[in-house]
Amino acid sequence: MTPRPAATDDLFARAPGAAAAVPGVHVGIGGWTYAPWRGGMFYPPGLVQRRELEYASRQLTAIEINSTYYGTQKPAIYAGWRDATPDGFVFSAKAPKRITGARRLAGTGAQVEDFIAGIATLGDRLGPLVWQFEAGRTLDRDDLAAFLELLPPQVAGRPQRHALEIRDPAVLDAALVALARQRGMALVFTDSPDHPNAADLCADFVYARLMRSRDECASGYPPAELARWAGRIGDWRQGRDPHELPHASPVGAASAPREVFVYFIGAAKHRNPAAARQLLHLLGGN
């Protein structure tokens, strides 16, 4: 384990707005390296870049790693990220586009194994893996079903969750919901006007990517909208299904408490950390 300065945890735990954990709920942002977050927007003035993950992981309770979509890291890098974060913190990660963009998904078994073997170095910090199939990609249903068989339910002796972000509207339907439920995989709810989305509950967890932050709101989202999201998270945690959200299937899911992962992604990106912290406060985390 890479040693950290002894005062790091105390310093960042006392930082203004530092988040406390909310049981069963993980709230965060996409990535942690973004120049507009420096100088006081999110990171304190003078904070060196190599310690930004330490700080972010004590302000929020999760981060979605987006860089893995473009290229994977060596295990030593993942180990450094693991060691920089506190107990209970969670990373989600986007799978490489070379896998999800392959012409024949069912033939990517070796690539899937290689990606997962490396990122498993995150250990107990590793949360759901996100398999994003981009807009403009026409998916073959049989090929997709065969591909899902390649995704392991366990990694290094720990349960491994998988979330599917399908941007082909022709495939985001009741048949896909049934397949995801059969596999115990979540459908990513992408709250975006640019992508199809469905909030059907398919697994023992919910994965939401919120993509409507606005520059004119200091907290990214208006307070009333954040309050509605806090209410929906409460519903998911209690096993209820917020029916005002769009669904792809008329068949409801069984009522059961679900773990929830929520990330503020894209849009007015410089506002996303504030949105995540405010949502955590509304959920009772601080």
Could you tell me where the beta strands, DSSP code E, fall in 192-268?
A: 205-210, 259-264
- Look at residue 3 and tell me if it is in a domain: no
- Look at residue 266 and tell me if it is in a domain: yes
Q: What pLDDT score was predicted for residue 22?
A: 87
Q: What pLDDT score was predicted for residue 19?
A: 61
83: domain CATH number is: 3.20.20.410
Q: How far is CA 260 from the centre of its chain?
A: 9
- Look at residue 234 and tell me if it is in a domain: yes
pLDDT tens for 88-99 read 999 999 999 999
- Look at residue 2 and tell me if it is in a domain: no
Domain span holding position 73 = 8-251+258-282
- The structural domain count of the chain equals 1
User: Percentage of residues in the chain with pLDDT exceeding 70?
Assistant: 92
Q: Are strands 158-159 and 154-155 parallel, antiparallel or unpaired?
A: antiparallel
Mean pLDDT of the chain, nearest integer:
93
Tokens 């606005």, residue? 214
Q: What pLDDT score was predicted for residue 21?
A: 77
- Look at residue 1 and tell me if it is in a domain: no
pLDDT tens for 260-282 read 999 999 999 999 999 999 999 99
- Please state, in angstroms and rounded to a whole number, the distance separating the CA atoms of residues 8 and 13: 8
pLDDT at 5 over 70: no
